[in-house]
Amino acid sequence: MWGGKHTDTKGRELFSFLEYKDIVLLNDGTGTRCNPSTLELAPIDLSFCNSSLASKITWSVDLTSSYGSDHHVVNINFSHKQILTDDSESVYNYKKADWEAFSSKCNEHLSPDMISDNIEETCSRLTNKILQIAGECIPVKLKNNKPKKPQVPWWTPECTKSVKERNICKNRAQHTGFGTDFTIYREKERACRKTIKAAQAMYWESYCNSLNNDSKLSDVWKKVKSMLGKTFKKLNLPTLLYNNTKYECTQDKADILATNYAQVSSDDNYSDNFKSQKQDIEQKEYSKLLHYYKDNSDSYNEPYTMQELKDAISDTSDTSPGKDKITYSMFKQFTDKSLSVLLLFINRVWFLQKLPSEWKHSIISPVLKPGKKPTDPQSYRPIALTSNFVKIMEKMVNNRLRWYLEKNNFYTPNQSGFRKNRNTMEQIIRIDNDIHKAFLKKHFTVGVFIDFQKAFDMLWKKGLLIKMASLGIRGNMLGWVKDFLSDRTIQVKVNNTYSEIFIIQNGTPQGSCISPTLFNIMVNDISNNLKYCAMSQFADDSAIWLSGKSNKYLQKRIQEDIDTISTWCDKWGFLISQTKTVAMIFKWIPSHVGLSGNEMADTAAKKALSIETCITSIPLYKEDIKCLCKNLLKKMWQQYWENNTKSKQLHTIQNDVNFCITIPKSTRERERTLFKLRSSYIFTNKFKYTMGKCNSELCDTCLVVDDMQHYLFNCRK
């Protein structure tokens, strides 16, 4: 059977099993093992496959070499074209790019004749031409989305050579089993570890020497994570559940995520007070801006220069491109002639005050927030990818806008967010200084830390233009920002599947460098009408505080300023987050000066430090003995409670014997009821959902999670 000299019982059983399971034997009768004594070949190595694959597989034996074994190599070839899954994606291989050819071809094919007043056609021509040249000079590789070992920046060719030598010695030792080979392998292993550690130390030392006062702390942490080999894992979206509806296929997941992201910036999120004022303000104030768009008398409305373009490109690092696939690496290889064509197009967009629709379209990649439920679409943070072309122009516009605001001192001194040479430490020092001054006077300090709900997503676009005009911003700058924020669209990308296109009604684009500057303009006047409190701001995070003798007086004055801020929010469309906004009271707690026990202990401690040996008699009081005995008994009872295996299930309710709630005249029924409340053992929808007796954990009336807190305090029924 299959080339053997005889057939036994095991062979017959195997043959019947293959017929029963529809499995095909690939052997053609050629021997695969050479008997060392007789040098005869025996076909003892069998190869199997499914019947549907047998026609696409060829089987052969390499009889020319045994590679040190008595078994010959069996070659199994599967002739079938590779089918790319939805996760496959082609990317540019910049390591093998011919940048000289790319620069010369861009210099040859990009000309001023390509630029016209039709912004959409010009953008399409430039993008297609750049991509065509990139396809000729930069090879494309298939992006592998499978998890792989991350690359570390300290790896050197010496590390590769040392690891290769170690692996060779390891394989030889495993194959031969000789003691000398194992000794050589251990030596190579020690040498390999020494080489890797030396490479790590040398790289870290050189990186530390390159740090200076301008180095960003975030860049340092990124470098540390890259040296440790930490990388982001590929996101595999599970089945999403929203409004009791399951979304299983990739297209449905992308659509429901895009719907949620679009709803975040919807007009429905505005408060009723703001909606009543919004229309009146737009009719009175926004209509006055029409004649401001043509006023280009200020210097910031002049055409952009080549130096500004080069500075913006040099201030970039390689990130994921938008849908057009043009990367910063391509722009950095442009010659001055090619850059002049880009500059001509940027100035044409600047003076026409109209951006291409491709520049206002974002591709959203969802990233799961830490500690959130993977099945909830609202648990994913949107990461927006836009065209790198528009990002370069954003940097140029943002540099001019920030220069204008700083030069004319339009920024409030309270604002430290996203400003040059300003950081959070300034505001921390301010509030810390005021707290210490209050402590010296034995006063209170009451602080309220305010967080705006969906601040960037719900920014009122027309209200922002009104405030920009009030700061004297005119002409191209005002018109460019107006068109930049108008008609913005998003698509969610899950693997290689795109959702439908959704329009963003409000807010500034996520990930844009100019968005923080625009937000600072919007909240610049929030502290103008405050009467009593000091204020600090870092973008959308704000804090107010006040010091004084009377706590009631402070609360009254702070409440007045909070009402002022609330009125400002109703006027400009902001919502204060009730869950993230907190109040704190800072009060100096005096030490136990004057107590006899503390005074005696301090005197004994000072005396013990002054001489080598000291015997001091300190009287031991009755209360101290009682306290010592009580703590000792608690410690013994705690050890017994932790070692008791019969009540392990109760440890989740009360893991500390010191924690005890006593109720006067309590009955067993009351104790049992309290135990159920503490353990959440009540028949709410959340408990029923956990036990499999309910289809949803949401409250039937309020449509929120029906847990114990909601059941006792918040439920309307």
Contacts of 505 (CB under 8 A, 6+ apart): 262, 265, 266, 267
Same domain, 14 and 71: yes
Cα 127 from Cα 357, distance rounded (Å): 13
Q: Are residues 65 and 104 in the same domain?
A: no
Question: Across the strands, what pairs with 209?
Answer: none
pLDDT in tens, 469-481: 999 999 999 999 9
- In angstroms, rounded to a whole number, what is the distance separating the alpha carbons of residues 304 and 62? 69
In a domain? residue 595: no
d(CA 573, CA 466): 13
- pLDDT given at position 93: 87
Is residue 17 a part of any domain in this protein? yes
User: What one-letter code names the amino acid at 190?
Assistant: R
**Residue 133 domain-assigned?**
yes
Burial of 631 (0-12, 13-18, 19+ CB in 10 A): exposed
| Digit-coded pLDDT (tens) for 106-152 | 999 999 999 999 999 999 999 999 999 999 999 987 765 554 555 78
User: What's the domain count of the chain?
Assistant: 5
If you count DSSP H runs as helices and E runs as strands, how many of each does the chain have, helices first?
A: 22, 19
Spatial CA neighbour of 91 closest among 126, 150, 139: 139
The rounded distance, in Å, linking the Cα atoms of 253 and 237 is 8
Burial of residue 616 (CB within 10 Å: 0-12, 13-18, 19+) is exposed
pLDDT in tens, 61-88: 887 766 667 788 888 887 654 333 344 5
pLDDT tens for 473-521 read 999 999 999 999 999 999 999 888 899 999 999 999 988 999 999 999 9
Judged by DSSP in three states, 702 sits in coil
Are 330 and 130 in contact by the 8 Å Cβ rule? The answer is yes
Q: Note down the domain range covering 125.
A: 94-141
Residue 445 lies in a domain: no
CA 60 to chain centre: 51
- In order of 170, 382, 669, the CA distances from 649 in angstroms are 50, 40, 21
pLDDT at 446: 93
Q: What's 266's DSSP letter?
A: -
Note whether 515 and 508 are within 8 A (CB).
yes
DSSP per-residue string spanning 122-171: HHHHHHHHHHHHHHHHS-EEEE--S--PPP-TT--HHHHHHHHHHHHHHH
Single pTM value for the model: 0.64
Encode pLDDT of 204-244 as tens digits: 888 888 888 878 877 888 888 888 776 555 557 888 888 88
User: Cα–Cα distance between 32 and 69 in angstroms, integer?
Assistant: 11
679 shares a domain with 652: no
Residues 16 and 73 in one domain: yes
What is the DSSP-derived secondary structure letter of residue 112?
Answer: G
Q: How far is CA 525 from CA 333, 474, 522, 578, in A?
A: 43, 19, 8, 22
Among residues 141, 176, 196, the one where a domain terminates is 141
Q: 170 and 120 in one domain?
A: no
- Give me the pLDDT at residue 488, please: 94
By DSSP bridging, strand 541-548 and strand 534-538 are: antiparallel
| Residue 699 falls inside a structural domain | yes
State the pLDDT at residue 112.
93
Distance CA 190, CA 183 (A): 11
Bridge-partner residues for 41, per DSSP?
Answer: 34
Q: Is residue 88 part of a domain?
A: no
The DSSP secondary structure of 30-46, one letter per residue, reads: ---EE-TTT--EE----
Residue 638 to residues 138, 629, 651: CA-CA distances in angstroms? 69, 14, 11
Low-confidence ranges of the chain (pLDDT < 50): 81-87, 147
Q: Measure the CA–CA gap between 286 and 263, rounded to whole angstroms.
A: 25
- DSSP class of 59: E
**117 neighbors 353 (Cβ within 8 angstroms):** no
Whether the CA torsion 301, 304, 307, 312 is positive or negative: it is positive
124 found inside a domain:
yes
Please classify residue 579 by burial: count the beta carbons closer than 10 Å to its beta carbon, then call 0-12 exposed, 13-18 middle and 19+ buried: exposed
Query: Measured between alpha carbons, how far is 492 from 364 in angstroms, rounded to an integer?
Result: 5
Could you tell me if 527 and 414 are in contact, meaning their C-beta atoms sit under 8 angstroms apart? yes
User: CA–CA separation, 615 vs 612, rounded Å?
Assistant: 10
Please tell me whether residues 160 and 191 are part of one structural domain.
yes
Residue 134 inside a domain? The answer is yes
Q: How far is residue 664 from each of residues 5, 248, 656, 658, 667, measured CA to CA in Å? A: 93, 55, 21, 18, 9
- Residue 631 phi, psi (nearest 5): -65, -35
